[in-house]
Every structure is written in structure tokens, then in C-alpha cells.
Amino acid sequence: MSSDTSFKAASTKSTSTFISALIISATIAGIQVGAFLILRTSIRKIYAPRTYLPVPSKRSQPVSVTPWGWLLPTLRLPSKSMIPTAGLDAYMYIRFLRLMIFIFAPTSCLVAAVLLPLNSIGTSVSTTGLNSFAFGNIPENQQIRYVGHLLCAYAITIWTVYLIQKEMSKYIQLRQEYLTRQSHLDLPQSRTVLVTGVPKSFLSSQVLNSLTARLPGGIKRVWISRALDDLPKIYNKRQECVSMLESAETTLVKKAIQQHKSMLKSSQDKAQPFLPETIKRVHSRELSTAEQDPVDQFVHRKSRPSHRLGFLGLLGKKVDTIDYCKDEIVKLTGQLEEARLKLDDHHPHNSAFIEFNEILAAQIFSQIVLYQKPLRMAKRYVDAAPQDIIWDNLNINPYDERIRNMVSWVIVIGLIVVWSFPVAFIGSLSNITSFCTTLHWLSWLCNSHNHLQDVVQGILPPVLLALIFLILPMLLRLIGRYSGVPRISEIELILMTRYYLFLVIHGFVVTTLSSGLTLAIPELSKDPSKAVTILTINLPKASIFFMTYMVTTSLTSASGALLQIFPLIIYYLKLFVLASTPRSVFNVRYEMPQPQFGTLFPNTTLLATIGLAYSVTAPIMSILALFAFTIYFVVYKYLFLFVFDVPAAHETGGRFFPLAMNHVFIGLYFSQLCLAGLFFLARDVSHNASSIPQGAMMIVLFFLTCFSHVLIRNSYAPLTTFIPLSMVEEEVVSKAKKLKQQATEAHEKHSPAEQNKYLTSNLKDVSSPASDNTQETCVQRSYSDTDMTQLSMPTGKSEGHEFCQTVLTPIGEDTGEYLSRLQRPTLEDSANTGGPSYGEENFVTEQSQTAFLHPAVYENTRPVWIPEDPIGIAKLEVMDMKARKIPASLKGAGITSSGKVFVTRSPPENAEVIELESNKVQGIFALPGVIGGVARAAGGTLGGTISGRVRSTSSKANQSHSRHHSASSAHTVDSQGVPAVPKLPAGFDSSHKNMLSMMDRKKDKFLADEPRASKHMSNVPEEDPAATTTVTVGSCFEDDTAHELHSFDPLVSPASQPPTTSPHPFVTPASSLHFIPDPDPTFLSENNSAQSSAPDPYSPHRY
């Protein structure tokens, strides 16, 4: 009797725990969805960046601004429409959710009609609540009911395997169509293969060309990896110095502005005019030590940015950050140039990238046996993209890689063991009230209010379980990188398998056993002879924890994914705290969130595993799983259509999907083995085994499922990695037919001479095997492709050592001659500049000549991008850096009087210039009512379009300021094209007069040096004085409220608000984004001096 009473109490407590978790989760979900509906129309950067940030061909159509205006378009848009914009990986994730709905919808109907009545109606077991629907509720005198569970298990398995086979077939079709579409075949990456473990005797373009001579089309280019020693470290340190210099320069400008404002205030108090609008510093590298730096007139030397050298910047000497970084950049650039002169001394090592002329050759090469010894040239990676390469892992020996892989698995297994202890503890929390009678120190919990117990048992375990798994992906990614995998996408595939292993062991197996055994321990201690019966009844009751987990995850996680509270907080936190430089502002504002499929898939497939594992033993789980996957389908379809950016470089062609199918099979295995065990444990009234036949049938079903799994996996495995040659051949035949048709049209339209020329040029597309003299190997240009002087190389004959991470010369050509030819960059190379892809494909139709070289080999110094200020401090610093041969630019970056940095275009090193919309109040600062007012007050600024009162006040201030300083606001330009220093107002402070006079004296000296300095700076667009409108200091400072928030997102669509003209020199009128190639010739070639004075095509006044 006491046993029945305890079972009933436990059942009641479990049900109340589930209901409490459901109510709390639904409340949290409602709050998050409500916040999403309010903020969605206001903050496009977070909730709809895909509608305006990518290139036009990758954008999604904007949806209605009404709160629920996103739902119907999300449901109506076909999921396939996301393939061209988000890629096949994203589509296959949505299709996996769709598959789960198709699995659990009929399953829910089946268990609701069969198993729920079998488990709950006419039973004598004294369980209540949700446990009354569980497998353990079958009475001992009605064991025949287990036949219904057996039939349902067979039906669910057959249906699931059928759908898996059908979806795998569809996936293969989609993958083949995706990889053989013309836009992908035109990409050189589709014909590029990375091969590792190459023997030393094969690390030569001649040998590799001979090896592949029989393949169709032959080789177009070969890049051979070399050991670079300290070259990458020097390169990385220089990059760090550039970033540090940008931050220090921006800080200097901010301090100068604050000092200048103090001067203005002091001048106003004395009824004196303002400082003139612009100070032009004319600078020479050979400044006299007796002459003070003009910048020091605004920021004293002791107030300049500084840091300490040594360990963690704590113990070393204190240095001026700006001077130190400038000197370090010059020194490190010299070390890089010196190291690049000795590139041939670095021996080739282990790997090579091979670009074929035909995709057919690339596919054949990746599928055949290449070498007679084990592990050599065994791993080949098709569709290699430069942005996906892990350069540090290219030189790992194949035997070392195998050892690393084994060590990584040992570490993973060790982590699994260590992780089991906290997970077991969390699992026991779900039934902690069962310990109250045996553990007296927990009696306070049992005597407390029921709501506290419900929170501890219902909410706390899933939350803690989610928290302890947050750190795992980071650890597993580091372990995957250590294992020697050469591609980032491959790490994500490895992560998916290992992370799922963690989740299924700790999130399912350990939790199930710990939760079920926790319920059974009190009864086992009283009557150990009934151990089998007690386990049969209590183990299925562990499903209450997973029901709670399913509800909590589906409601809170899905609604949280919509709200994106953490990205939202981090976004504004970065803008206020971390976005201190133009580059950081640009990255924060225009980086789109990217899904991590290595963790997204396992978290989702775990729900599928739990749902299938408990589909028969706890039938309600199937209904909850259907609910969860339906919500996930709607939420993530919206996210992939309007929010997420999936970089094309990391696209795997849907290879996560077959791994997800393996996880679904694991759910079936758990279900069948659990059912078999429960059938064998079932006892009748006489305590005899009553369901041996059912258990045996489940074992048969288990082996049949294993056979189906192996059959499906082996049947489709080759097709998930390679493109069938038959499809590639179809593309070749289609191409030949197209050429023939074009030739026929040419015959009808052109003269015989023109026909012959046309046929000759087009038939080259059907390439013959490449000869030894057609090998191309290149050194990529810097960001701007304009100056290769920093990549000088030794002349003379190469000693047979081609270089891919450094230099790989064409066969029979001198290295010096080849590099001199390469130093004349082409427009085609400029199109391949690195930088944000914004969803665009990785390459144009012609691959960059050094796409697979380490950046340390060819990249020049990244331009130092700092914001231009109205008083000219930034220009002074840029001139100084130019004189030191350090590239620097002010283009498209500015700073307001309050010290907020804003940008109007992409960084200067990007060939694809992105004009940014601005001059709007953005984000939460534009929300109506109290929320917007509080946000604006907290932000410390007012937007230029918030209220007419602010606009009128600013207008009056401008008018007054203009009348007061009309004499000093004129802007003159001397014959050299350099703005002349304006005449000082009467009564101006003598120290400033002396400073400007000193700068004027040095002007001629700088102009003599400037051509020499500019010679090394042509990879940064020059600031053209004639094309730049300089604004008076007072005008910028008085009316900068209209531009304080340019680092935030547009609040409304351009159509809903007419563009306004901004008085600020760096701000474009509000308009849609423009994604256009830079037509400025000075941005592409340093030698085109005739264009150096051309108006800036990206000046705000151009539009």
C-alpha cells in the first residue's frame, strides 16, 4: 500500500512539475515573441539584415511592417527559394525539420488512437497525471496489451525508414543539381582540388602535371604548400599593430576634439571668434627637433595613448602607442620584405592545390588511387575555397595527422567521462523530492511551497543542462583544429558528430538512467526482490524530464531565436563600447549573423532522437515533438530567409543532412532496445516473464533497422561526396551543343574571317591537356592590387622548387621575370579582393592567381583607417604615415563632436565599395513613445529626425553661427591643390597663431616630399581636396545631432521617409545601399598618376 501511495505521489508531483514548466516556458516565449514583434520593424540590422545588406542578387524581399506581417510571407515562400541566397546547407536544415514533421504527424495520430487508450483506460495501476499514459501503466493481469506497443513500434520504424530513404534520394538529386548548376561550374573552385600527404618527390608542378596528363583538360594552375617558418607570425603581428594604431589614432582624434571644444568654449567666453574651420598640416619626415608637432597643441604628449610592453602589457616599458606602432609596422614590413626575398629557401611540404581546366578532371582526380603507399595523397578535398582553408594545418604529415586524430578522440572520450558527473547530478534534480525521505538535509525543500519544488524539478534541470553545454562547442572546435583538418567546413562536420555524441550520451542516456533510477531507489531499498518490476515501472517515467526539456526547448529556444536578445545586446554594447574605430563600426553594423551548423544540427537532431526513443514508451512525447518541430520550422525558415548569412566559402553542399539521418536512426535504435528490455522485464501476476515474444520481435526489428541503415548509407555515401561523372559529362555535352549552336549563328551573321576567329576562340573552352608551358602560378596582389614593391623577389632561375604559399613560377620562366610581369595588376584581379562577401560567391569566373597562397606571402600593409575630424588632426596623422610609407586613409569615416565614429562606406582595402545609408535615427532610438525617449536619453544623443523642435533649434544655431563667422568660413585652395590656411581672426590666441604660422612655413617642404610618400600609398584612394567639401567647425559641432547615431541601423525603409540632404561632409543622403564596383582608377593602379586628382566617385556629393 505504501508503494502505491508513493507511486501516486510521485506521479502527481511529476505532472505538476511539467505543468509548471509549461506555464513558465509559455510566459517566457510570449514575452520574447512580443518583444520581437515590437522591435522587428525598428531594427533591421538584427531582424531583417538580408533585405538590405547583401548584394542585390542575394537579398530577400522586404515584408510588411505590421507586427505579424512576416508570418504569411514566411509560410508562403517556397523553401527552395532560399537555395540561391542561403545555400543548400540552409535549405537541407529546413527540409530536415519538414521531414520531422512528416514523421511525427502520423506517429502522433497513431499513438493517440492506439497507445494512449491502451496505457490509461481500464488499468489498475495507481498512477495519475502524465505517468498514467506511460508504458509502465499496464497492469500485471493485462500483459496482452503489449502487443499494441509492438505493432506501433513496427509501424513507426517502417514509416521513418521509408521517409529517410525518400529524403536521401531527394537530397542526392538536389545536391547534384546544386553542384552542377552553371553558376557553380563557372567558379574555379568547382575545378580545384586540395590534396594532402603529397610525397616530396611529387611536390613539383612538372611531376603533378605528368601525373594528371591523361585527365581531360589537364591542369590549369598548381599551388604547392611550403613551410613558412616565422613569416605568418610576422604578418600577424603587423596586422595587430595596424589594429592597435587605428584604435590609438581614433583615441587621439577624440581627445583633440574634446580639447578643441574647450578652446571654443573659452573663446566664446572671451567673445572671440572660433578657430578656423580646417587646419592643414604640411609635414616632412625630416622635421626639425626644435619645432613642435602641431598635434601637440591639442593633445599634450603625456595625454596621448600609451601602453606597456612586456608580459600582458603590465611589466614592460611604457611607450607612446602611436609612435611605437608606426615604428613596428615599418620594421615588420621590412622583415617581411626580407623574408620574401628568401622564399625559395623554404622547402615544399605535404600539400598542393590543383586547379583543372575541366570539372570532369577534378572529379576523376578526387576519386582514383594516386599513390602506392598508405596515407599518401589519400585525402582530397574538392571545391576548395581559399576562405575555407586553415593554413596552419596544410603542412601536417599524414601520419602525424592520423596520430592527432586519435589523440583528439581520446580527449573527447575523456571529456565525456568528466562531463557525466555534473550531468548525472542535473538529471537527479528532476526527481529531487524522492530523496527527501532518505536525505534529511533536503527536508527543507519537501516542506517548502509546491511552486519552489516545481521550479527546482521542472525549470532548473533543463536550464543547467543547456548552460553546461555552452562551452562544449568551443572546446570541440579547438580539438577539431588540433586534429589537423585543413578546412573550416570539415571542422563543422566533425563537430556535428562529436557534439551529438556528447548530447546523446549526457543529454539522453545518463539523464534517463539517473532520472529513472532516482525514482526507483526508494522502492528498491524497501523491497529489493521487486527490482525488475520497479525498474519496468520507473524507467519510462524518466520521460517526464524529457517532456519538460522538449517543451522548454521548443518554446524558449525558438522564441529566443526570433528575439535574438543576446545578439541585440551585444550589437549595441559593441557600438557603445567596442566600436571605437571605423573598421570596428563597419564590422558591427554590417556583419550578418551566421548559423553554426556544427551545433545547430546536433541540438535539433537530439530532439528527434528523444522523440523517437520515447514514441512508444511515452506516447505523449510524439505530440510534443510534433509541436516543437513545427515551431522550429516556422522560426528558422524566417531566419534563413531574412536574417542569416551563410558564407559560400563554407558551403558543404548539404553534407550535414546525411549525418542528421544517422542521428534519426540512433533514435530508432534507442526506442527498439528500450522496448526490448522492457518487454523482457515485464512480469505477470505470477511474476513470470510475460512478453518474451514481443521482446524477441523487437530484437528482429532492431537488426532489420540496422540492415536498412547500412544499406541506405552505403548506397548514397559516394554520391554525398562526389559528383557523378555521368552528370559532369552531360554538362560537357551541353556545353559542346551550346558552342555548336553559337557557331551556327556566327556562320549566319558574320563573314568567313570572323567565323574562323569566333570558332577558334570558343573551341578553346573545350580544353586539351595542358602542356608544360601553360602552367600558371602566381603571387596575389595586395588588397588594392596596385603596388607590388613590397613583394620583391630574387631574380634568377628557380631551382625546381615551385611555391604556392610563396611563389610557384611557370615552368621554364625566371622567378624575377615572372614577378615583374605579375606586378602589373589587372582589373580582373581587383575583383577578387578579399573582404566581406555579403553572401556572394567566392570567386568570379577567373580565379585570383594567388588564391591559395598564405596572406603573409603577398599582402601589403592593411591601410590604417581612421575617422576624419573637422579640425584636421586625422589628416595630419595620415600625412605622417604616408611619409613613413604606411598606407592610411580617411575615406568614408568621420567623427562627431561627441566622439562617435560613423562610416559611409566599406573599408578602403575593399575593391567592392559599399555605400552605406545614413542620416536617419536608427534602432531602438527611433521607437515611438516612452521606450524611444528612454533609449535616446540613455544613449546620450538625439537623432536628427526625432522631433521638429530639435531640427528648428539646430537650424537657428546654424544661422546664428553662420552670421557670426561668415568671414572665417571661406575655403580657399592654392595652386598646388592644397587648402590654404585661412587668415586668423583678429585677437586670436598668439600660441595658435604661431602654430599655424609654423605649419604654413613647412608646407613647401612637405609638398616636395609628398610625391615620394604617395608613391607607396596608391593602394589607398587619395583624398582629393577639390572633391571634398570642408565644413566649418561650428557647423559640424552645432548640428551634429543629426549624425550622432549613424552607427545604428535604419529604422524605416527608404520608401517611408524621403531623403534629406545632410550638411555633414561624410554623410550621404538617406537612400538604399549601393553595391557597385569602384570605378576610381587610383584605387586600382598606383601608376595612373593622371587620375590621381579625379573627383572621389564615392564622395557623398557625387549622388
The residue-averaged pLDDT of 266-272 equals 61
| CB-count burial class (<10 Å; 0-12, 13-18, 19+) for 142 | middle
DSSP code per residue over 320-348:
EHHHHHHHHHHHHHHHHHHHHTTGGGSPE
Query: Is the pLDDT at 477 greater than 90, yes or no?
Result: yes
Comparing 20 with 235, which gets the higher pLDDT? 235
Weakest mean pLDDT among 273-287, 313-327, 518-532, 841-855? 273-287
Q: What is the pLDDT of residue 754?
A: 56
- Tell me the per-residue pLDDT of 879-923, one tens digit each, with 9 for 90 and over: 999 999 999 999 989 998 888 888 888 898 876 666 665 434 344
Q: What is the mean pLDDT of residues 457-463?
A: 74
Per-residue pLDDT at 451: 64
**909 touches 833 (CB < 8 A):** yes
Q: Give the pLDDT score at 407.
A: 95
pLDDT of 326 strictly over 90: yes
| Position 772, amino acid | D
* DSSP category for residue 919: S
For the segment 385-399, what is each residue's pLDDT rounded down to a tens digit? 888 999 989 888 899
Helices (H), 917-1002: 929-939, 948-964, 990-1001
Average pLDDT over residues 659-671: 95
Counting other chains too, the contacts that 111-120 makes at CB distance below 8 Å and 24 or more residues apart are: 111/152, 111/615, 111/616, 111/619, 111/622, 111/623, 112/619, 112/623, 114/148, 114/151, 114/152, 115/148, 115/149, 115/152, 115/616, 115/619, 116/619, 116/620, 118/145, 118/148, 118/149, 119/145, 119/619
pLDDT 10s digits, 822-844? 333 333 333 333 333 333 344 44
- Greatest mean pLDDT among 147-161, 285-299, 1088-1102 lies in 147-161
The rounded Cα 150 to chain-centroid distance in angstroms is 46
Residues whose CB is less than 8 angstroms from the CB of residue 856 and which lie 6 or more positions away in sequence, other chains included? 228, 231, 232, 234, 235, 236, 336
How many angstroms separate the most distant Cα atoms in the chain? 114
pLDDT at 665 over 70: yes
Please report which confidence band the pLDDT of residue 270 belongs to, taking 50, 70 and 90 as the band edges.
low
pLDDT of residue 841: 43
How many of the other CB atoms lie within 10 Å of CB of 364?
18
Out of 223-227, 233-237, 836-840, which region has the weakest mean confidence (pLDDT)?
836-840
Reported as type and span, the H/E element at residue 308 is strand 306-308
> Quick one: cell of 731?
554538362
How crowded is the C-beta side of 521, counted as CA atoms within 13 Å? 16
pLDDT at 267 > cutoff 60 = yes
Packed helices 725-749 and 752-763: angle between N→C axes, nearest 10 degrees? 170
- 613 pLDDT more than 50: yes
More confident residue, 1049 or 548: 548
pLDDT value at position 799? 37
Q: How far apart are the first and last CA of the chain?
A: 86
Helix (H, G, I), strand (E, B) or coil at 319: strand
Question: Over 90: is that where the pLDDT of 102 sits?
Answer: yes
Residue 586 clears pLDDT 50, i.e. is over it: yes
CA atoms within 13 A on the CB side of 1092: 15
Domain boundaries, the chain: 2-151+413-652, 197-232+342-378+767-858, 276-285+298-321+863-1102
Average pLDDT over residues 344-349: 84
Is the separation of the CB atoms in 545 and 423 below 8 Å?
no
* pLDDT for the residue 601: 96
> pLDDT tens, 363-383?
999 988 999 888 899 899 998
Residue 649 has pLDDT above 70, yes or no: yes
Provide the pLDDT for residue 98.
97
Separation between Cα atoms, residue 525 and residue 531, nearest integer Å:
9
What average pLDDT score do residues 668-681 get? 90
Least confident of 101-115, 572-586, 849-863, 987-1001: 987-1001
**Given a cut of 80, is residue 133 above it in pLDDT?**
no
Range with the largest mean pLDDT of 462-466, 604-608, 1031-1035 = 604-608
pTM of the predicted structure, to 2 decimals: 0.73
Burial class (CB in 10 A: 0-12, 13-18, 19+), 464: middle
Cα–Cα distance, 120 to 108 (Å, whole number) = 16
More confident position, 978 or 544:
544
Tell me what percent of the residues of the chain surpass a pLDDT of 70: 62
Q: How far apart are CA 516 and CA 509, in angstroms?
A: 11
User: What is the spatial distance between Cα 751 and Cα 755, in angstroms, rounded to a whole number?
Assistant: 6
pLDDT tens digits, 805-825:
333 333 333 333 333 333 333
Question: Distance between CA 865 and CA 586 in Å, rounded?
Answer: 11
| pLDDT averaged over every residue in the chain | 72
Q: What is the pLDDT of residues 676-719, one digit of tens each?
A: 988 888 877 777 888 899 999 999 999 999 999 999 999 999 88
- How far, in Å, are 44, 86, 966, 1048, 1072 from residue 56 at the CA level? 16, 13, 45, 21, 11
d(CA 851, CA 84): 24
Interstrand relation of 912-915 and 1074-1077 (parallel, antiparallel or unpaired): antiparallel
Q: Which of 4-8, 75-79, 168-172, 717-721 has the lowest mean pLDDT?
A: 4-8
Q: pLDDT at residue 786 above 70?
A: no
Is the confidence at residue 9, as pLDDT, over 60? no
Question: Is residue 675's pLDDT more than 70?
Answer: yes
